[in-house]
Structure 1
Amino acid sequence: MLAVKGFRDSGERKQWREKMIVSRLHLLIDRCVRRRHAEGEVNLPAEAMEKDMLLSLSQVLREIQSCFDSDSEEGEETAAASPESKDHLCLERLVAHLVGLLGAKNVHVQHLAGNILVQVSESLVESGSQWDDFIRFLCDSLHLALVYSFPLPSPTGFEGSNIGSDVLKCEMKKADWCTVSGIFRVLRNILKRLSQEENEDVIDVYLDSVNSTLAKIPWCRVNTHAHNGTLGSIGNSEEGTVFPGNFVQFLSTVVQQVRFPEDSDAFGTTHLILQKITELVPDLLRLCQPKLESQSGSSMSRYLVHKLLVLMIRLTYQSNIKCSILLSWLQYLQHHFQRFLQHTLNRNKPVQDNCLEGSPFFVSLSDRDVNETHSNHLQRLSVFLFLRCSLTLLYTSRHADKDCEFDCRKKGMEGVFKWIEQQVPGDTFSNHGTYSKKSVDFSTCFIQLFMHEDDLLFKVLLQLLSVPLAGEEL
């Protein structure tokens, strides 16, 4: 049978079968989209339309999960009949339709569409066929979605004229902040799957595509329009924080999954993506700060603060991060996160043994206690990042010259001294006995602050070990 079809070996047979699968999936998804438009024209109830869409998407997901494992005669016949020239277009339409569904009002439709995209990615990686095109289409969709979500009177290239094809442009014209958030979620989930496979070539393609897309977007202009209400009527609500929240979460995952080797090529893929994310931090802070101020104390605000701090902490472990960047982050912490840094370290209440701190199942505590728990966590992160920036400025070899070294060491020392002075107030050197007692109390409270998160406890202790103990250094 194979000889009649012209297959030379099992590898060629597999490639033909996978091209057929892309065509079949495109037909299934196209049918879903056509049905949605048709039902909209006859004014079916929204509930009935959503139910039918969910059933159709579930069928597509099952099809993907099953067809890559099947070697049916029917599949071979379809593959032989599928023109190779249409494979590229089929995949592009498949991505366009699914990305379009990420902006659906129904969260279950969004979830299923995202799962299908992740499953398609995994299947194409396994097959070694068309995955490069797939990730490029997805990144082009992100770029176009940002173009149409934040319409900007911008320079040539950002209008979308040179991005993607008419297929993607047509679908992304309907994109909004929800679509952009959905694409970031999908890209994040794809990276987590890729990292499990440890396929460096595929990860390099992924990082190169993402880095290229991030580099083309003028984030400062997106900031301006986001602050002027381009996110719509929900701009100042908790839902309006979903877009920057997903963006920061995505970048944080990239930094976590990608390791920066000290001897790596300065122009390597890993170096470039980490450098780009580091450059994006000021824009991220400007994008998020108005939302943090308008939603201070809300669950979304606390989550956004958490992810921003985690992102910056992870970036500080880059061996090539400049001291000027650390200094700017230190100044940001001192200006915007004063409530966490200036809050006096107290002996914290013991955390219950039968639940995880910060868990949504922390039901036995009052709202006041839950808020205090979140504040303790954010205080830990803020203090750790503050000490990491300050002590790295003090004891690092990343300075450009002697003047830079002197200035950074001075500002690092000033920051640490003022923070300790706030925590241990009074004329500490006038009474040695009193000072010793205050120091012991402060040290005890400091350890107790971190002891409920042992990963942070070890990190902060290792950071303190980097401080030289020689009298002349102190």
Structure 2
Amino acid sequence: MAERPRWQERQQLAHLCDLVADSLLPHLEPEPLATRRPQLTREEERRILVALSRVNKTIRGWDDDEVDDGEQGCASDQIVSCSEEAHSCCLPPDHHFDDGFSCLANIISIVVGLLHLCSDYIKHSAGNILMAISNSLMKFEAVWIQFVELVWAAIHTVSTCAHNHSTINATKGSVGCSSAAESISQDTTTESTSITSFIAVLKLRYVNTNRQIMTCLFRVLHIILKLLKLNDSELKDDFICLSIHHIQKLHWDPGYRLNAGKVVSIVTDDRRSLTKDSAQFGIVSGSLLQLLCSLVEQSDTEDTDLRDIFVELADVIPRLATFLQEQQDIPKSLSQYSKHKILMLMIRLKPHIQQNCSHVVCLLKLLRRHFQSPLHEPMFQHSTKLENCLEGSPFLLSGVGLGELQDKSTRHLQRQAMYLFLSCSIVLACSGNDSRLKCSCKRDQCCHKGEGCTDNCNYFGLSEISVWFQRCCLDKILDSKSSTDIVLCFLQLYMEEDDMLFIILLQLLDAPLISLAIDKMETKWTSELIGAKLFSVVFDPVHIFHQWLSLLHYDHLVLVDYLISKDVGVHCAQYLLRCLRLVSGCWDAFVDDSVYEAQIQKFNCKRQRTLKNINSLTGSSMEGTKLGSSHDKENKSKEQLFLSAKVCLLSLKRTLEDLHKKDLFPYNPKPLLKSLSRFEELCVQY
């Protein structure tokens, strides 16, 4: 980015400083500091909102490029620096700095000071002004980076003071200022003395340190990031790196929130205050998680330039997850939202950290510790659906209870947790086949039973799958029909979200590798991994492909819709290509589903010999279970399964050819058409 003359930066800061100070500072200092209160009358609120609106419109209306090169000499002679006579910040004399930093500190401290006032409208308007200021300073890279750092300094100040107010006497608030400055003095381009001065000025601008200020500032940063991505700004990477460094320095003490709650309850003796404070804390956590997820958007997963900084962010997740878990009094809706965002963050970070087994092990431990409920919830309760009713119809509400409506969020969490668990476990289970993987975990951290690190990680991943499958599905594995039920219920769970459907389908294509990994291990361990072995057999990719087509009712037009979708088209094409390649190599299994049934029955025989091991792990008894029990549902004949799939795929081929000839398909379908042609040849030969 080309640097603009220094005088333009100072002029812009001086204009902003004068505008903000003249219009907004009087509303912060109408009375002595000791008697100032955040509550406002309706008339006071109206006057402040009018002033905020005028400031916002003025900043957005400025045309910073109206000064041409011919006027540069005249403009540069005008006095625009804080240290010169034509402009002077209203900061106390001992807080002045050169090069416009005083202006920047003055601007942000005034706007942030308004955030403490008890008006949601004022908070929203003040946040909009911060975003407008950010937009006006983006042309000056160094100044804009200082602006972002000072916003983070304000967040640290509120966080630190809130922490200290819950643990020490409020008269020692100065400790909060010094500790906040110390926590952000590193990894910034602004000097520590300047940060300390800014924090001191910030405390002059407002009194209370409620976390709503943090919520507003996280919202501002989140919208700034969205605008940077929308405009494909060169400052985006700087913003991401800077934000991650500051997030790592935030307080993550699980106890301080509880201590703060005790202080509130002692002082006010009002349960409503504690409940309100808990809800406020949940909103702050949600706004931080929203910012975190935006820092690692799905589109960034292939950006290797940011991989190292994202690995650093992965270290924050255990602290954040543990921290939120300690807050038992957060409203359920906010707790569900926080879990959703943490799972989304882990899913987005996984491509960056999966090259190191220790990070993958960490994710699995977090799932085991904090997400057992959605992870181990049975899939089979979701298999029933209301008939003769359009999804989304208002008549649906009359026939569905409140619990069933609330179940949607639970199912979403289950999808997220299950996908992350299976993808991480399969990565570890197959880690011996990937020479690129490295591991820095210690043997005693995971209770591995292997000799080398690779064996340890292999065993850990396999044992996690084994325990999960035994707990969730083992009692349903009675015969091949029950195995099909498991696959159908699993697919039905993900059919509700197309973007996750194809990601999990692609992941399950590696299920056979689990069985191969177990076969390579010592015989004494295989009895403990019976659940993982069974998972590999039940989730056979060819069988899953058959069941997925049946759930689509063999409608090739649905496949076309998937393929042309902007969101899932690429993943759907990848899945179809890999499945068609797999079908070519396993033609007999695709034509005759009895091959799958034979595998299940063969495994059932082996399972009888290890029944005692299973019972000892699950704590249940399966004596008297009859294999090959009757089933209520009617299955299509094996021949009909193949014929239906054949008609569907060949119809897809003809439709794609027709669209491609008319140049109506959004991308080149030739690789997929080639695979479908090979499939057609096999059908003719059969």
Give the aligned partner of residue 234 of structure 1. 274
TM-score (norm 2): 0.58
- For residues 347-358 of structure 1, the aligned pairs below 5 Å read 347-349=383-385, 353-354=391-392
Q: 1:229 aligns to what SS in structure 2?
A: helix
Note the alpha carbon deviations across 1:159-185, whole angstroms, 9 max, x for none: 536543132343466322222222222
Q: 2:136 aligns to what SS in structure 1?
A: helix
Q: Which moved more, 1:383-392 or 1:271-280?
A: 271-280
Give the aligned partner of residue 18 of structure 2. 24
Give the aligned partner of residue 7 of structure 1. none
Deviation at 1:224, TM superposition (A): 2.4
Give the aligned partner of residue 49 of structure 2. 54
Retained in 1: the 8 A contact 2:212–2:284? yes
Match status 1:439 vs 2:452: no
Q: 1:164 aligns to what SS in structure 2?
A: helix
State which of 159, 164, 171 in structure 2 corresponds to 1:146: 159
Note the alpha carbon deviations across 1:343-371, whole angstroms, 9 max, x for none: 22131537954489xxxxx9996532321
The 2-side partners of 1:364 and 1:129 are apart by: 60
Note the alpha carbon deviations across 1:19-54, whole angstroms, 9 max, x for none: 443233333444453465589879996222112211
- For residues 371-410 of structure 1, the aligned pairs below 5 Å read 371-396=406-431, 397=434, 398-400=437-439, 403-410=452-459
Between the aligned residues of both structures, percent identity stands at 25
CA 1:100 to 1:404, structure 2 compared with 1: closer, same or farther past 3 Å? farther
TM-score (norm 1): 0.81
CA 1:308 to 1:216, structure 2 compared with 1: closer, same or farther past 3 Å? closer
Note the alpha carbon deviations across 1:205-246, whole angstroms, 9 max, x for none: 3234323433444x34x3221232269443663333112222
The 1-side partners of 2:123 and 2:509 are apart by: 47
The answer for unaligned runs of 5 or more in structure 1 is 1-9, 265-269, 357-361, 429-433
Give the aligned partner of residue 576 of structure 2. none
State which of 278, 284, 293 in structure 2 corresponds to 1:243: 284
Letter in 2 for 1:324: S
The 2-side partners of 1:382 and 1:144 are apart by: 35
Note the alpha carbon deviations across 1:225-278, whole angstroms, 9 max, x for none: 1232269443663333112222222211112178355754xxxxx345313321
The 1-side partners of 2:419 and 2:337 are apart by: 17
Retained in 2: the 8 A contact 1:147–1:159? yes
Give the aligned partner of residue 115 of structure 2. 102
Note the alpha carbon deviations across 1:360-415, whole angstroms, 9 max, x for none: xx999653232111111111111112112211221234343872222222121122
Root-mean-square deviation (CA), in Å? 3.8
Give the aligned partner of residue 172 of structure 2. none
Letter in 2 for 1:404: C
State which of 225, 233, 244 in structure 2 corresponds to 1:211: 244
Q: Which moved more, 1:90-99 or 1:313-322?
A: 313-322
Match status 1:450 vs 2:450: no
CA 1:262 to 1:72, structure 2 compared with 1: closer, same or farther past 3 Å? closer
Q: 1:174 aligns to what SS in structure 2?
A: coil
Letter in 1 for 2:56: L
CA 1:23 to 1:197, structure 2 compared with 1: closer, same or farther past 3 Å? same
The 2-side partners of 1:407 and 1:28 are apart by: 66
Q: 1:379 aligns to what SS in structure 2?
A: helix
Q: 2:274 aligns to what SS in structure 1?
A: coil
CA 1:18 to 1:160, structure 2 compared with 1: closer, same or farther past 3 Å? closer
The 2-side partners of 1:52 and 1:38 are apart by: 19
Q: Which moved more, 1:138-147 or 1:26-35?
A: 26-35
Decide which structure has the larger Cα Rg and report it.
2
Give the aligned partner of residue 309 of structure 1. 343
Match status 1:274 vs 2:318: no
For CA contacts below 8 A with separation 6 or more, give which structure has more relative contact order. 1
The answer for unaligned runs of 5 or more in structure 2 is 69-73, 89-99, 169-174, 183-191, 265-272, 441-450, 519-686
Q: 2:385 aligns to what SS in structure 1?
A: coil
Letter in 2 for 1:313: I
Deviation at 1:143, TM superposition (A): 1.8
The 2-side partners of 1:124 and 1:355 are apart by: 49
Letter in 2 for 1:460: I
Q: 2:506 aligns to what SS in structure 1?
A: helix
Retained in 1: the 8 A contact 2:161–2:176? no
Match status 1:158 vs 2:179: yes
Retained in 1: the 8 A contact 2:163–2:256? yes
Retained in 2: the 8 A contact 1:302–1:374? yes
Retained in 2: the 8 A contact 1:211–1:272? no
- For residues 36-435 of structure 1, the aligned pairs below 5 Å read 37=31, 46-68=41-63, 71=66, 80-83=78-81, 85=83, 87-126=100-139, 130-151=143-164, 158-160=179-181, 162=192, 163-165=195-197, 166-171=200-205, 174-200=208-234, 202-217=235-250, 219-220=251-252, 222-229=253-260, 232=264, 233-234=273-274, 237-256=278-297, 259=300, 264=305, 270-291=306-327, 293-295=328-330, 298-319=332-353, 322-346=356-380, 347-349=383-385, 353-354=391-392, 366-396=401-431, 397=434, 398-400=437-439, 403-426=452-475, 428=477, 434-435=478-479
Deviation at 1:417, TM superposition (A): 2.1
Deviation at 1:426, TM superposition (A): 3.6
Give the aligned partner of residue 187 of structure 2. none
Letter in 2 for 1:367: L
Letter in 2 for 1:273: I
Letter in 1 for 2:417: S
The 2-side partners of 1:335 and 1:42 are apart by: 43
The 2-side partners of 1:400 and 1:31 are apart by: 55
